[in-house]
Structure 1
Amino acid sequence: MNQFLAILNEILAASFKGVRGYVKAAIKMSILMFIILCIGLWWIGISWWGVKALGIAIIDIIPVLGSGIIMLPWALVYLLMGQTSLAWQLGLLYIVLVIVRQIADPLITGREIGVRPIYTLLSTIICIVLFGPIGAVLGAIIAVIIKAIFDIKKQYTS
């Protein structure tokens, strides 16, 4: 019984360390998105670009939807107002955000939580399919827990 509790305690400690890494990765991704948004909004000529970039970067933490909640309607409003150039520029900035996130997120998250990026990506995709948008967060957490279990198992079988 004591050995079981010791193993469970190690798994929980490793899992919390991984979750802490996931939070660090989310903060790093938000900073990256903020920088890209600042540059893009400044380049486009949007007033108060820094404040708007900060707001969008904070909203970008929401799994799956993220910055699209703001960027897509914003571009659509400009398109309907007849400002097609500005609408296309905002749309292009959103596409850049999505591409950078798709490339950087598994790399940064995988590095922070100690799981290979491909496993983080696969876990996230499977969890999104199974659980919907909340699966984007659950995927990384489940990958952390599985890694912790395998690491502890390896310690006790060696």
Structure 2
Amino acid sequence: MNNVIDYLKEVLKATGKGLKGYLKAECKLSVLTFVVLCSGFLLIGIEHWGIKAFGIAIVDIIPVLGSGMIMVPWAVIRFIMGDTTIAWQLGLVYIVASIIRQIAEPFVTGKEIGVRPLYTLISTVICVLLFGPLGALAGALVAVIIKAIFEVKFIRRL
């Protein structure tokens, strides 16, 4: 019984370490989003581009919705108001930022939690298929837990 409790404690400790890495990865990805948005907003002439990019980068931490929660309605409103050029430019900035984040996410997250990017990506895809939008968050968590279990099991064998 004591062995099981010790094993669970070790798994929880390793999982906590992985979750800390996941949060660090999310912060790095938010900074990446901030830089992309700053560049895009500056290029298309958005007023107060830095402040707006910062606010959107903070919201980008929310899984699935992220920056689209602000960028899409903003582009649609500008389109309805007749400012189609800015609307299309905002849409393009959003698409570029999303693509860059989607490409970088498995690599940054995998590096920070100590799991290969391919495994992180596979875990996230499977969790999204199983759990829908919440699976995007669960994918990294599942990868962290599986890594912790294997890590503790491997250490115990040595």
Same fold flag (TM > 0.5): yes
Q: Give the residue type in structure 2 aligned to 1:88.
A: W
Alignment-mate amino acid for residue 35 of structure 2: I
**Aligned position for 1:88:** 88
Give 1:50's aligned residue: 50
Equivalent in the alignment of 1:147: 147
SS in 2 for 1:61: coil
1:22 counterpart residue number: 22
Return the offset for 1:44.
0.9
Residue aligning to 2:69:
69
Aligned residue in 1 for 2:38: 38
Provide structure 2 residue ranges, at least 5 long, that are not aligned to the other structure.
Answer: none
> CA separation in 2, counterparts of 1:156 and 1:49?
52
Structure 1 match to 2:130: 130
Q: CA deviation at 1:156?
A: 2.5
- 2:103 pairs with 1:109: no
TM-score, with length taken from structure 1: 0.95
How far 1:76 sits from its partner (Å)? 1.2
Q: Pairwise CA RMSD of aligned residues?
A: 1.1
How far the C-alpha of 1:63 sits from its partner, in A, is 0.9
What are structure 1's unaligned runs of at least 5 residues?
none
Report whether the alignment pairs 1:79 with 2:79. Answer: yes
Q: Distance in 2 between matches of 1:4 and 1:69?
A: 44
Helix, strand or coil at the partner of 1:148? helix
Q: Deviations over 1:21-71 (max 9, x none)?
A: 000000001111011111111111111111111111111111111111111
Question: SS of 2:62's equivalent?
Answer: coil
Code of the aligned partner of 1:144: V
Distance 2:86 2:60 in 1: 21
Q: Deviations over 1:64-85 (max 9, x none)?
A: 1111111111111111222221
What is the count of residue pairs matched by the alignment?
Answer: 158
Structure 1 vs Structure 2: percent identity of aligned residues? 59
Q: TM-score, normalised by structure 2?
A: 0.95
Per-residue deviation at 1:155? 2.1
Give the deviation of 1:157 after TM superposition: 3.0
